[in-house]
Amino acid sequence: MIKIAPSILAADFANLERDIRRVEPAADWLHVDVMDGFFVPNISFGLPVLRAVRRCTELFLDVHLMVIKPERYIEAFAQAGADLLTVHLEADDPVGVAAALRRMDRCGVKKAVALRPITGAEAVLPYLEQLDMVLVMTVEPGFGGQSFLTSQLETVRRVRALIERVNPACRLEVDGGVNPVTARQVLEAGADTLVAGSAVYGAENPAAAIRALRGE
């Protein structure tokens, strides 16, 4: 089953509750982008905002940590209300990534790793067996509203093949530049979970935009 996760990075932060209500009828998950100004050049928001979002919705919260050495923050983000945490493979060495995943287990949240466009699909292999999701970035992380990198379709296909071999229950999410056209391409390449910021919040009717991504 396809899941659509609107990214609140593209919402109006002065009207965040209103913008969450706007997507609730059509969204499966809510995607929450945390940026530290080091792993990516941008700073978005952190724990207090996640807590506030948790208080205002029952939606599954898919929290994308674009943060150096994320192990330090796993417990805090789990307590703040994340249902799933994603850490970047480039944000720490393999020992640190494994430690972050162990912490997620202890905190009872679902576990995912993300790949920047530079990182090859095979990099997920040491972790794949235990993952709930792999996130393939289809833009360079850091900003909403960028153009989809078509070259990432190959990475999506490769990750899909690895998932089928090692852990078929694992979800495959894509993030960046997803619109009704690129959504078709990534779904065909094997994605089953789509993040969309501008395509949803840039639309007159965000719920209708989500349904369009689903191909309805």
Q: Is 6 in the site for ligand DX5 (CB under 6 A)?
A: no
Number of residues that bind Zn ion (CB under 5 A): 3
Q: Is 28 in the site for ligand DX5 (CB under 6 A)?
A: no
Q: How far apart are CA 175 and CA 76, in angstroms?
A: 24
One symbol per residue from 110 to 149: x for binding Zn ion (CB under 5 A), - otherwise; what is it?
----------------------------------------
Task: Choose the catalytic residue: 28, 36, 62, 175.
Answer: 175
Quote the tokens at residue 115.
């790949």
Closest distance to ligand DX5 from the beta carbon of 13 (Å): 13
Closest distance to ligand DX5 from the beta carbon of 193 (Å): 12
Contacting residue, 41, 94, 120, 145, with ligand DX5 by CB under 6 A:
145
Catalytic annotation present for 33: yes
Question: 71-90: which residues touch Zn ion (CB under 5 A)?
Answer: none
Task: Give whole-number Cα distances, 127 to 132, 162, 195, in Å.
Answer: 10, 11, 22
Task: Give whole-number Cα distances, 214 to 49, 78, 103, in Å.
Answer: 28, 29, 33
- Give 95: exposed, middle or buried? Use CB within 10 Å, 0-12, 13-18, 19+: exposed
Q: How far apart are CA 131 and CA 163, in angstroms?
A: 10
Task: Give whole-number Cα distances, 77 to 4, 72, 92, 109, 184, in Å.
Answer: 22, 10, 18, 10, 32
Q: Is 198 in the site for ligand DX5 (CB under 6 A)?
A: yes
> For the CA atoms of the chain, what is the radius of gyration?
16
Quote the tokens at residue 139.
């833009």
Q: Tell whether 197 is in a known binding site.
A: yes
Partner that binds at residue 23, options Zn ion, ligand DX5, none, CB closer than 5 to 8 Å by kind: none
- Catalytic residue ranges: 33, 175
- Binding site, annotated residues for substrate: 7, 64, 142-145, 175-177, 197-198
Q: What residues make contact with ligand DX5 under the rule CB under 6 A?
A: 7, 9-10, 31, 33, 64, 139, 141-142, 144-146, 175-178, 195-199
